Amino acid sequence: MSTSALTATVDLDAIAHNLGVVRETSGGEVLAVVKADAYGHGAVPVARALLAAGAAELGVAHIGEASALRAAGIDAHITAWLHHPSADFGVAIDDDIDIALSSRRQLESVVAAATARGTAATITVKVDTGLNRSGVAVDEWADFADDLAKARASGAVVVRGIMCHLARGDEPEHPLNSAQAQRLDSAAADLRRLGAPAEVMHIANSPAALTRPDLTRDLVRPGIALYGRTPIPERGEFGLIPAMTLTAEVSLVKKLAAGQGVSYSHTWVSSSDTTIAVIPAGYADGVPRLLSGAIVARIGEETFPGVGRICMDQFVIDLGPDGGGVREGDIAELFGTGRDGGPTARDWADQIGTIDYEIVSGIGSRATRRYTGGGNGDL
């Protein structure tokens, strides 16, 4: 059997474990966020594993992401919360997707699509309580709520949920978190008063789900924690297990004489005779070029430094004069759980001043996703 050059192995048992951590800590049922291909882990297998492990429902950004889950046969409740003006709400209604609404215009389009179909759209009200990103704006709220009450009375919508997203969830003690929750509670009270009550409410993302159980409503809405990455590194790991391990097969091993430069622009020059290896992973695969000269590869028990520029498809490591016992075809771990002392996605993120959300969700489609655990190798 041929194997791929680059593999992202996803441990579905780790994901199930992380779901358990979030449920226990938050005290809430989980709307599991599987947007962006489950943060690069593979939306369909991950969604199935999460539902099997007890996730109550799913959330994504775009309707297309939700429809793809439906097409794969996933029948759980799915909410989609980010819509461009020409988004096809008719498809969302046909696919029984809960449409989270951020404006009167969106509500109007959904009502039109539902009316044209002679059916009701299931919607969640997304309230901007202070993030100032998506969500119904403060100045539009009263009119939105009136429109919604009319739409409900006409039978065009079923009001399933009300939600907001925290601006500073990763600063658990920041007063804005409680203020946002109060604003959402008050918006929910407005809807009740108008006869359009929401059935469920949710606020908490991963950091809040792990540190602010008082913000748990009917559901919590974690993403990154399910993938085993702490949303607040200063607070520790919360018992989460990183689910993705990125490995590559060593493509080539060769000798390099002292004084030779490696890769574009020869930014690294060997100071003595050495041995180098080519790793078939580059920035087109989500290995940041900014990690040039800082990336390491773990092969067996040894960690080897990357040297020279990271290219689109490959980078080079220095095996040392004796070659470190590395052979072509050996498996190099680029990041993983870190338990064996190997590199982690957070190491990458820290080195280039970003967050590991960006690292894992950026691993490209050339990396074959392979699944372990989950009681089923063929998910």
Ligand X SMILES: *Cc1c(COP(=O)(O)O)cnc(C)c1O
CB of 89 to ligand X, least distance (A): 18
Number of residues that bind ligand X (CB under 6 A): 12
Chain-centroid distance, C-alpha 93: 25
Q: Residue 186 and residue 192: Cα distance in Å, rounded?
A: 10
Residues 181-210 contacting ligand X, CB under 6 A: 205-206
For residue 9, the cross-strand partners are 245, 370
Chain-centroid distance, C-alpha 183: 26
130 vs 231 by CB, closer to ligand X: 231
Interface with ligand X by CB under 6 A: which range of 40-48, 178-186, 219-227, 236-244? 219-227
Does residue 231 bind ligand X (CB under 6 A)? yes
Question: Catalytic residue among 39, 150, 264, 283, which?
Answer: 264
223 vs 288 by CB, closer to ligand X: 223
Interface with ligand X by CB under 6 A: which range of 111-119, 222-230, 238-246, 276-284? 222-230
Query: How crowded is the C-beta side of 77, counted as CA atoms within 13 Å?
Result: 18
Q: Residue 321 and residue 40: Cα distance in Å, rounded?
A: 37
Residues 77-136 contacting ligand X, CB under 6 A: 81
Q: Which token pair is 71?
A: 């097409």
Please, what is the Cα angle at 337 between 40 and 223, to 5 degrees? 40
Interface map 241-280 toward ligand X (x if CB under 6 A): ----------------------------------------
Residues 348-377 contacting ligand X, CB under 6 A: none
CB of 11 to ligand X, least distance (A): 18
Q: Which of 221, 309, 346, 369 binds ligand X (CB under 6 A)?
A: 221
In the residue annotation, 35 being an active-site residue is answered as yes
Interface with ligand X by CB under 6 A: which range of 44-52, 220-228, 266-274, 317-325? 220-228
Residues 152-171 contacting ligand X, CB under 6 A: 165
Of 69, 7, 74, 71, the C-alpha closest to 36 is 69
229 vs 309 by CB, closer to ligand X: 229
Of 192, 190, 188, 184, the C-alpha closest to 208 is 184
Task: Measure the CA dihedral 199/130/209/244, to 10°.
Answer: 110
Can you tell me whether residue 201 is helix, strand or coil? strand
In the residue annotation, 39 being an active-site residue is answered as no
Burial 295-307 (b: 16+ CB within 10 A, else e): bbbbbeeeebebb
CB of 83 to ligand X, least distance (A): 13
Question: Catalytic residue among 35, 126, 283, 357, which?
Answer: 35
Interface with ligand X by CB under 6 A: which range of 216-224, 235-243, 265-273, 336-344? 216-224
Per the CB < 8 A criterion, the answer to whether 13 and 245 are in contact is no
The distance between the two most distant Cα atoms of the chain, rounded to a whole number of Å, is 79
Residues 3-42 contacting ligand X, CB under 6 A: 33, 35
Of 183, 98, 107, the C-alpha closest to 143 is 107
Please report, as ranges, the residues that interact with ligand X according to CB under 6 A.
33, 35, 81, 165, 205-206, 221-225, 231
Task: Please identify every residue annotated as catalytic.
Answer: 35, 264
